[in-house]
């Protein structure tokens, strides 16, 4: 296998990446890294490789990552909320990703069914491993490190559903929002699930607005990244609506290509130019055919597209643009 990789075509990107991985491993020897460094590198790479191999066959299916407290008990209102959300989102063609532990995570799996669920479980000394309803499923991956686990929660997701929880839930919430705000994760809907009449996320949102926004630690458009929702039906409708006209993005050299589920009218494109000129480095937002660099995604060749030279100054404004694209797609 090593000889095959080293003898491969130098112009083939996959072969070049294989070589880079091997060379980085050899540089660990050159740099005489400490044993602890080597252990972390080895385990992180092994976890990433194995998890990627599990998700790879399902990457054509959209997924929702579900976060929430492991301490919520079966039969409680929030448990049942998560069960119903899991069931409805699967009925809409999605799969779910959870931490495969108890509480909200188990509820999400119960609603979605193990067949439609992935478990990205963390090894902890006070937990006994994945919850019983998915423990033996081949789509369960166990991680030693939180950082590799969190990569897959976001990298493989097309939406995020956050139920009430503790430190871990808020860590995951702010991780997701940070990645969206910095453009390190592609745009996706984030729903904050709350029972009617409760103030869990409203209190959190009040803190965000009165402390972060008021002090200008975030921008007004950053508030578009999340939406507080009080029913599983509303959550599923919001997630589906996010992908009603918008499909996905891809950076091609200096151009941001936005792939669509349906074509926009020329008048719609003019409205986008009027509203989002502050995202355009040069030129304008315009319809475009498939670019040569997109030939590696034949399943998306038939999608309509718009593209522009994106200045990368505000992922929040880009998200607002996507929301407007979906609104325009509903009009004739």
pLDDT in tens, 79-108: 999 999 999 999 999 999 999 999 999 999
Nearest to 249 by CA among 294, 310, 186: 186
CATH T-level fold of 246-329: Gyrase A; domain 2 (3.30.1360)
More confident: 127 or 177: 177
Q: How confident is the model at residue 320 (pLDDT cuts 50, 70, 90)?
A: very high
pLDDT of residue 196: 95
Q: How confident is the model at residue 172 (pLDDT cuts 50, 70, 90)?
A: very high
| Separation of alpha carbons 326 and 246, rounded Å | 6
Provide, rounded to the nearest whole percent, the portion of the chain with pLDDT above 90. Answer: 92
Among all chains, which residue has been given the structure tokens 């993005």?
249
Alpha carbon 318 to chain centroid, angstroms = 16
Mean pLDDT of the 118-145 span: 91
Residue 127 has pLDDT above 90, yes or no: no
Count other Cβ atoms within 10 Å, centred on residue 253.
8
pLDDT of residue 332: 66
Mean pLDDT of the 57-80 span: 97
Helix axis angle for 77-91 and 104-112, nearest 10°, is 40
pLDDT in tens, 187-221: 999 999 999 999 999 999 999 999 999 999 999 99
Report CA torsion sign: 208, 209, 211, 215. positive
| Separation of alpha carbons 317 and 275, rounded Å | 10
Phi, psi of 213 (to 5 degrees): -70, -45
Q: How confident is the model at residue 6 (pLDDT cuts 50, 70, 90)?
A: low
CA angle 94, 96, 102 (to 5 degrees): 155
Among all chains, which residue has been given the structure tokens 């590696």?
296
Question: Domain segments of the chain: what residues?
Answer: 2-55, 60-242, 246-329
Q: How confident is the model at residue 309 (pLDDT cuts 50, 70, 90)?
A: very high
Burial 201-224 (b: 16+ CB within 10 A, else e): beebbeebeeeebeeeebeebbbb
Cβ atoms 68, 104 nearer than 8 A? yes
Q: How confident is the model at residue 8 (pLDDT cuts 50, 70, 90)?
A: low
Cβ atoms 95, 117 nearer than 8 A? yes
Mean pLDDT of the 138-158 span: 96
Count other Cβ atoms within 10 Å, centred on residue 249.
17
| Separation of alpha carbons 154 and 300, rounded Å | 22
Mean pLDDT of the 36-64 span: 97
Residue 11 has pLDDT above 80, yes or no: no
Residue 5 has pLDDT above 80, yes or no: no
| Separation of alpha carbons 128 and 220, rounded Å | 43
For the entire predicted model, the pTM comes to 0.94
Residue 68 has pLDDT above 70, yes or no: yes
Count other Cβ atoms within 10 Å, centred on residue 172.
22
State which CATH number among 3.40.50.150, 3.40.50.20, 3.40.50.450, 3.40.50.880 fits the domain covering 60-242: 3.40.50.450
For the chain, the average pLDDT equals 95
pLDDT in tens, 248-296: 999 999 999 999 999 999 999 999 999 999 999 999 999 999 999 999 9
């Amino acid at each position: 296998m090593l000889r095959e990789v080293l003898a491969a075509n130098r112009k083939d990107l996959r072969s070049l990446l294989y070589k880079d991985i091997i060379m980085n491993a050899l540089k660990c020897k050159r740099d005489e890294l400490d044993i602890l460094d080597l252990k972390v590198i080895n385990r992180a790479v092994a976890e990433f490789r194995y998890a990627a191999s599990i998700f790879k066959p399902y990457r054509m299916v959209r997924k929702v990552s579900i976060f929430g407290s492991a301490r919520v008990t079966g039969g409680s209102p929030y448990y049942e909320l998560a069960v119903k959300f899991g069931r409805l989102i699967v009925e809409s063609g999605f799969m779910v990703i959870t931490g495969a532990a108890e509480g909200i995570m188990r509820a999400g799996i119960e609603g979605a069914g193990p067949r439609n669920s992935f478990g990205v479980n963390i090894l902890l000394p006070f937990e006994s491993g994945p919850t019983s309803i998915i423990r033996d499923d081949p789509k369960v991956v166990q991680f030693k490190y939180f950082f590799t686990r969190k990569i897959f929660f976001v990298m493989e997701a097309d939406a995020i559903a956050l139920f009430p929880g503790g430190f871990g839930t808020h860590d995951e919430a702010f991780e997701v929002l940070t990645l969206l705000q910095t453009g390190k994760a592609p745009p996706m809907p984030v729903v904050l699930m709350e029972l009617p009449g409760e103030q869990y996320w409203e209190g959190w949102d009040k803190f965000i607005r009165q402390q972060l926004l008021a002090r200008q630690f975030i921008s007004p458009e950053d508030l578009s990244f999340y939406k507080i929702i009080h029913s599983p039906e509303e959550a599923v409708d919001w997630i589906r609506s996010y992908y009603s006209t918008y499909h996905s993005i891809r950076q091609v050299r200096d151009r941001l290509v936005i792939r669509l589920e349906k074509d926009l009218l020329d008048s719609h494109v003019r409205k986008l130019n009027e509203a989002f000129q502050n995202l355009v480095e040069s030129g304008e937002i315009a319809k475009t055919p498939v670019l040569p660099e997109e030939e590696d995604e034949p399943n998306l060749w038939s999608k309509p597209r718009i593209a522009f030279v994106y200045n990368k100054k505000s992922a929040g404004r880009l998200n607002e643009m996507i929301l407007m694209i979906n609104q325009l797609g509903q009009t004739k």
